[in-house]
Structure 1
């Protein structure tokens, strides 16, 4: 059986097991409907998610400076794998009748492009496959061979006048840029058209071998009307509008900075805005290396696990609401800062979650910490069998503590109990050290308003529902209750 089907079955089984016992009035009928269609991806599918490229669409009128903008982005991202895909490569071949009347053919109309072929190429690139891009000849108006081979890359720049026109193409993009040649908005109609016309004349006469008369005739008949009818209306879909095109170095620098930030994020963070992975450093990677090593002693495991837990807790506290506060410094100056959230508590999932309590107490003096015990029955069902929570928990922000997020079953149970106790979903921050993508999918889809803070996203789950590469049975390793004669190789789902 596939992991996805088993994980989904596991979630549903735990719902059946939790209705009626252990908690008076604790039922999950509403939650059943919410996660009815959730299926966690298989391990292989999860691995492919790491290879998803960052797709940037660059649109604008003809000769507006799109290619210049793309070239500048590519130049600044020299340390990344970047490819450029031009919409111009996907023109339809002209038949004999169209060739005879080529001066009447509108190359700026959406129907002039083979959008289906473009979508096919983009889909393959997004799934890590090499593709052949058509080599369109603007003198014969046909695709020539050989085609241009493009390999999978980290960044795909898709450039063209009408790439925002088809919603299917737009949906494939992570960022949409519209290049505008105008300097001031009130000058746009006249100046933008003049600049684009001058550039088009230069380009078409030198690169495509056309005479000026033909260029001007085509511009007045097709180019300008198409810009007003098809291209300009797509400007509203842009995330970023760059005035002055390639001359706007500040805008391009900011775009490149944003791209670098996004490339550093895990792909799941792009899907779920409520998922936060703390920024990795060599120190963090080194600590992960130590706690994952099966030969690491208990003393070292606890020491470095505590350091990582403290980082996760601090990051989680940063997502709490705050109020502005002014204080007087010893120099007699006024400092404007913020005041910590007062209504806060922790809830640990017994037993491994208790390993995170000391870090929380060290960060929040006198904090109340509740407990939830979830009993596993094999791999397909779990029962809530014990809870001890603050009486006023519904009025507090809650930091839910559990170092491992595997299938998401325990998290679903624990969060559902907190909701039953009246805690608003948006008041819950779930803290863990490592998270399997399957668990992230389940929790984020069931509870889209909670926040998940973790230090690393794992590869996935194996056939036994154990997190891989994992760090072993976390509770046993932390509290020293593991069997020394048995090698610990993977963490069970929490």
Structure 2
């Protein structure tokens, strides 16, 4: 893939490092591996991203015909290496990121060392192309920039800054870059959680993303704290739930509708295409009902109870993959996904039994 895994850094105004150390006054629990929040940033060439790291090194034979090589094709990127790199970071392990030289088209030493951080940004034209990579991303962003603007930036970057012949740049663009964008890059836009128009110059959109990440990460820090009071746990859980519900409703189909305002003017708006209903999974799911009712007046809510499989609780972490695999058209909206289970079948890093903590039925 054409991606760079690194500590959180987009443009200079996006620098996210919320570091906190949680210690108990009594006994210090062993620190769990840092679980990075992965943000994938995709988009066309020169759309407002930066560099590429996971290109394959070209052989001497290929270098002799480098003008015939398609650097924008998925097979040009070492997706296997990128996946293993992401998995190591997910496990809290430091990694070495290839240092790719765009002039020699080879990886050079030394490689760059990247350590697990709270937030890691993975960027490149085809970040959202591979399903395995997408499954490891917590947030998927597509940078949408006008094609003429991207072409102008590409000419400036390659011709003015790297001394490339303009005719050669345009020939490469028409033969490889544009067709690959239309075939491989643009279709991945449908997987994005957020689409940023005007590329990296859209400071408003970037600031909103940063603020939202910090807000969600901060609230998760509060509710995961074993010392959190019942009041704080419910308060911040309700805030997260409201965000999830509102975001989920935004994915439902709308249709246009015109209404008359109190001034007698016509306003063109939207309404849901059909009537809505909710289904909560007893018992933790019931904590989300009030937020849903607050967003959808008069909505009908049903309930289901999922019977456990005795001690076979190890199916839990794979629940999301199982459901999405069985129902591929299902869109899942969540604020965070935990890593795995420990030897006692407890979700880690976890926040305890949510239903008990929320409804104050724990010990």
TM-score over 0.5 for the pair: yes
Is structure 2 residue 124 aligned with structure 1 residue 141?
A: no
Stretches of structure 2 lacking an aligned partner (at least 5 in a row): 1-29, 243-280, 285-301, 307-311, 324-337, 347-361
Q: CA RMSD in A?
A: 4.3
Stretches of structure 1 lacking an aligned partner (at least 5 in a row): 1-45, 68-85, 182-191, 268-276, 289-307, 321-396, 401-422, 428-437, 449-456, 466-492
Superposition pairs of residues 20-59 of structure 1, within 5 angstroms: 48=32, 51-59=34-42
1:162 maps to which residue?
126
Instruction: Please point out which of 195, 217, 221 is paired with 1:241.
Output: 195
TM-score, scaled to structure 2? 0.56
Post-superposition offset of 1:146: 0.9
Post-superposition offset of 1:216: 0.9
2:12 maps to which residue?
none
- What whole-Å deviation, never above 9, does each CA across 1:391-432 have from its counterpart, x for those lacking one? xxxxxx9989xxxxxxxxxxxxxxxxxxxxxx94479xxxxx
- The CA distance in 1 between the partners of 2:238 and 2:58, in whole Å, is 62
Instruction: Please point out which of 173, 177, 183 is paired with 1:223.
Output: 177
- What whole-Å deviation, never above 9, does each CA across 1:139-172 have from its counterpart, x for those lacking one? 1111111111112211110010011111001111
8 Å contact 1:138–1:208 — kept in the other structure?
Answer: no
- The CA distance in 1 between the partners of 2:238 and 2:89, in whole Å, is 39
8 Å contact 1:121–1:131 — kept in the other structure?
Answer: yes
- What whole-Å deviation, never above 9, does each CA across 1:283-321 have from its counterpart, x for those lacking one? x95xx6xxxxxxxxxxxxxxxxxxx4566677899989x
- The CA distance in 1 between the partners of 2:237 and 2:53, in whole Å, is 48
- The CA distance in 2 between the partners of 1:462 and 1:101, in whole Å, is 54
Superposition pairs of residues 124-139 of structure 1, within 5 angstroms: 124-139=88-103
8 Å contact 2:196–2:202 — kept in the other structure?
Answer: yes
Number of aligned residue pairs: 242
Change (3 A) 1:314 1:150: closer
2:19 maps to which residue?
none
Post-superposition offset of 1:195: 0.7
The alignment partner of 2:195 has SS state of: strand
The alignment partner of 2:53 has SS state of: helix
8 Å contact 2:42–2:141 — kept in the other structure?
Answer: yes
Change (3 A) 1:279 1:253: farther
Change (3 A) 1:316 1:100: closer
Q: Which structure has the bigger radius of gyration?
A: 1
2:331 maps to which residue?
none
Superposition pairs of residues 17-416 of structure 1, within 5 angstroms: 48=32, 51-67=34-50, 88-181=52-145, 192-266=146-220, 278=223, 285=227, 308-309=229-230
More helix by share: 1
Post-superposition offset of 1:122: 1.1
- The CA distance in 1 between the partners of 2:190 and 2:149, in whole Å, is 21
Change (3 A) 1:102 1:444: closer
